[in-house]
């Protein structure tokens, strides 16, 4: 069993609260540090990097686990902190705008006035957490999202749509894993395809989950990360690719 420390970077809500299913999973033997972002400040990715520096374990190497919005943040931080980061795990992430070109019109919806309205549970179930999401988890997800000021959510969505860190990702020369939710209606396959275009050696695992992979499938996610870190061949990140469904 590999002993490793995980630094967890949350998605759009930024609270870190939604890592609870992963942290409390009986399968989780890792030690972890959870990063959070201010819920009331309009900060760009570079301005969020100090949030990681403030909690990172300086006395050891660690694996960055980033979900969705945090993918570009993890890539930028790892480029700046290369020696400390042992590996990167990207969960339903992207290295450039993940929105399909035909949906670019959606930018016009990212107005603070529109975001002031509570996001309907039906919308979150369809696109984020899955129609079959347990009520307790659905409630926690909605509470976390609604705890963030609407203008902050809008700012983060616009940042994600304007980001492109493929250059930094292409220069990354350590282990890289991508966890893909097979029912992800937000990023879908576009995230992995764009990453694979610049990092063909990226390891990938498909998990039967919606966009919130870690919340809906914590046991499978831990198993995938564990297997990835135990694979001795990942000492040479160009030598191995872990694809396909977990048993």
Q: Structural domains in the chain?
A: 5-235 (3.40.50.1820)
pLDDT score of 183 more than 60? yes
Q: How many helices (H) and strands (E) does the chain have?
A: 11, 6
pLDDT of the residue at 93: 96
Q: What is the mean pLDDT of the segment spanning 87-93?
A: 97
- 226 pLDDT higher than 90: yes
pLDDT digits (tens, 9 = 90+) for 122-181: 989 998 999 999 999 999 999 999 999 988 988 898 898 889 999 999 999 999 999 999
Q: What is the dihedral of CA 178, 180, 184, 185, to 10 degrees?
A: 50
Q: What is residue 105's DSSP assignment?
A: G
For residue 89, the cross-strand partners are: 65, 177
Compute the C-alpha angle 220/221/227, nearest 5°: 90
Distance separating alpha carbons of residues 169 and 227, to the nearest angstrom: 22
Q: Indicate the pTM of the whole model.
A: 0.89
Neighbours of 113 (CB within 10 A): 9
What is the reported pLDDT for 150? 85
* Residues recorded for the chain: 247
Nearest CA among 163, 227, 236, 215 for reference residue 11: 215
Give, in order, the Cα–Cα distances in Å from 76 to each of 45, 72, 88, 112, 115: 8, 6, 11, 27, 28
8 Å CB contact between 54 and 40: no
Task: Give 54's contacts (C-beta < 8 A, 6+ positions apart).
Answer: none
């Amino acid at each position: 069993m590999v002993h490793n420390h995980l630094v967890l970077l949350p998605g759009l809500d930024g609270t870190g609260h939604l890592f609870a299913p992963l942290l409390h999973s009986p399968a989780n033997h890792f030690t972890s540090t959870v990063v959070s972002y201010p819920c009331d400040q309009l900060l760009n990715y570079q301005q969020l990097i100090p949030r990681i520096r403030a909690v990172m374990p300086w006395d050891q190497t660690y694996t960055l686990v980033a979900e969705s919005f945090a993918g570009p943040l993890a890539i930028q931080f790892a480029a700046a902190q290369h020696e400390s980061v042992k590996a990167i795990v990207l969960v339903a992430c992207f290295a450039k705008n993940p929105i399909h070109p035909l949906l670019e019109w959606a930018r016009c919806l990212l107005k603070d006035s529109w975001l002031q309205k509570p996001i309907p549970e039906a919308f979150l179930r369809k696109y984020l957490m899955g129609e079959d999401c347990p009520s307790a988890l659905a409630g926690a997800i909605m509470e976390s999202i609604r705890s963030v000021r609407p203008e902050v959510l809008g700012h983060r969505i616009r940042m994600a749509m304007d980001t492109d860190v493929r250059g930094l990702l292409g220069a990354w020369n350590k282990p890289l894993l991508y966890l893909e939710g097979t029912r992800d209606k937000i990023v879908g396959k576009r995230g992995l395809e764009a990453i694979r275009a610049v990092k063909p050696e990226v390891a990938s695992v498909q998990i039967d989950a919606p966009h919130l992979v870690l919340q809906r499938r914590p046991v499978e996610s831990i198993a995938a990360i564990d297997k990835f870190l135990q694979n001795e061949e990942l000492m040479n990140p160009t030598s191995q690719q872990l694809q396909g469904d977990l048993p």
